[in-house]
A and B are shown apart, each in its own frame.
Chain A
Amino acid sequence: MKAPRFAYHAPATLEEALEVLAAEDGARPLAGGQSLVPLLKLRLTRPAALVDLNGVRGLDGIDRDGGDVRVGALVRQQTLLEDDELARSHGLVREAVRYVGYRATRHRGTIGGSLAYAAPWAELPAVSVALDATIEVRSARGERTVRAREFFHDAYTTALAPDELITAVRFGAQPARTGAGFHEVSARFRDYAQAGAAALVTLDDDGRCRDAELVLVRMAGAPHRVEIGDVVRGSRLDDATLDRVVDALGPLDPPDDVQVSGAYRRRVAPVLARRALASAFARAGQGKAA
């Protein structure tokens, strides 16, 4: 199908983009368009105007300050995948982005778009929660930052107001001896995740777990973070510890959909959690950064 009519604005600066978003009722930002354009074509959304961010200057850089990395909202998913320095400092990003769409969609899809759209199956929201990222947000009213852990409220529902844009995502420096793992299951290669798990493990000098993060995908509308630091601390992630991690997942109530049932998701969640943690533990032991 073809999209309904909309007014189109292609500003060159962030200020212009924010002004249009503030001034026009029903104006929506257009980033990579890999989710919004399909919605337009299916006529599931009918914005009065699109504000195309692709020509806005200054949103597509990756800047580093010590171990901190600031990723501009318009950085393409394929760039996230290919950036070797980012893979060294925050390996979870590459581990997860391997599963995002296909190369042809990753060439357009952006990190800011993935977070703002907040699809329940999406990998990058889970990554940002696991890495405790800070999301920079601007509107004509001013700017603010939101912790990723407070940003995702439900499926497609975030802390963003209609006139606000994500401008960048900041990943703080990861501790030494941190490894990352990401696993998901889908019906077809690189199709939407039916369930997934993102994990980080940090080791102490003796090779035992000092800390760990676990975030599940598609167990709820928003990324589902499970506190497991106390469960794994001091262990070598042996089977008994992983059993306790599974117990710590608590009651999960994932949704049914046309592909799989909630019961199936409940069953694979512990499997994916174990795999993600095991991968993260192994990489931490090899001294690879998260």
Chain B
Amino acid sequence: MSAVGDDRLPVRVTVNGRAYERTVEPRRTLADLLREDLDLTGTHLACEHGFCGNCNVLLDGRTIRSCLLLAVQADGREVTTVEGLAAPDGTLGTLQQAFHDHHGLQCGFCTPAMLLTALELLREQGDEELTDDAIREAISGVTCRCTGYQQIVDAIRAAAAAGAGKEARA
């Protein structure tokens, strides 16, 4: 596969279980594709060069910076964004509800990336062995501009206790 000049390339990607097909310039990132071409604006862009982690999404189930992946590199892959976390009728998942209950969001900007990062953590670690240190290490790659980290740690701990890990592994 090659593109020169203003060539656009085809991308077929599954986002939150729905298949999409678009053509993109090679320099376009996955974050650009999600936000501008698919109208999935829950993925937030801040620094746009990989520092802040606010654009984290799951690529085939693993967290990545969507601002650092070219959209063409997502061809044939499965992406999960924050829009894919709640039930179709809008009922919040256990992790989302815990963020709500524990004031884990202030301005809400980092929340999508925090949720997806926490989801991976909960899926990978058993609920019982989840320590505050492990939570803090996991979210260290996402910057909260409100610095509301304590409530985010509280929310993730509570979600683990409420069985969000088991839910994520199901």
Which B residue's beta carbon lies closest to that of A101?
B141
Assess the B27–A34 pair: CB atoms within 8 A. no
Does the CB pair B140–A38 fall under 8 Å?
Answer: no
Closest to B32 in A: A2
- Beta-carbon contact of B26 and A8 below 8 Å: yes
B128 within 8 A of partner (CB): no
CA A3 to CA B65, docked complex, whole Å: 15
Interface residues in B14-55 (C-beta closer than 8 Å to A): 25-27, 29, 32, 48-51, 53
Interface residues on B, range: 35 or more
Pick from A7, A33, A34, A188: contact of B4, CB below 8 A: A7
CB distance from B117 to the nearest CB of A (A): 7
State whether A2 touches B27 (Cβ < 8 A): yes
What is the minimal beta-carbon distance from B27 to any residue of chain A, in angstroms? 4
Counting chain A residues whose Cβ lies within 8 A of the other chain, the interface size class is 20 to 34
A91 to B62, CA, bound (A): 25
Could you tell me the distance between the alpha carbons of A111 and B59 in the complex, rounded to whole angstroms? 20
Report yes or no: B73 in contact with A52, Cβ–Cβ below 8 A: yes
Interface centre among A34, A101, A104 (most CB of B within 10 A): A104
Do the beta carbons of B5 and A7 come within 8 Å of each other? yes
Contacts of B96 in A (CB 8 A): none
Chain B residue contacts of A1, Cβ below 8 A: 48-49
Interchain CB contact under 8 A, A189 and B68: no
Given that A1-B48, A104-B64 are known contacts, is A50 also in contact with B26, CB under 8 Å in the complex? yes
Is B120 engaged at the interface, CB distance under 8 Å to the other chain?
yes
**How far apart are the CA atoms of A1 and B27 in the complex, in Å?**
11
- Smallest beta-carbon distance A175→chain B, Å: 32
Complex interface: chain A residues within 8 A of B32 (CB): 2
B63 contacts A103, CB within 8 Å?
yes
B168 on the interface (CB 8 Å rule)?
no
Contact A5 B25 (CB under 8 A): yes
Contacts A108-B68, A189-B140; A8 near B2 (Cβ below 8 A) = yes
- Which 10 A-B pairs have CB atoms at the shortest separation, nearest pair first? A102-B141, A8-B26, A38-B49, A104-B63, A7-B4, A189-B140, A3-B27, A10-B1, A37-B68, A8-B3
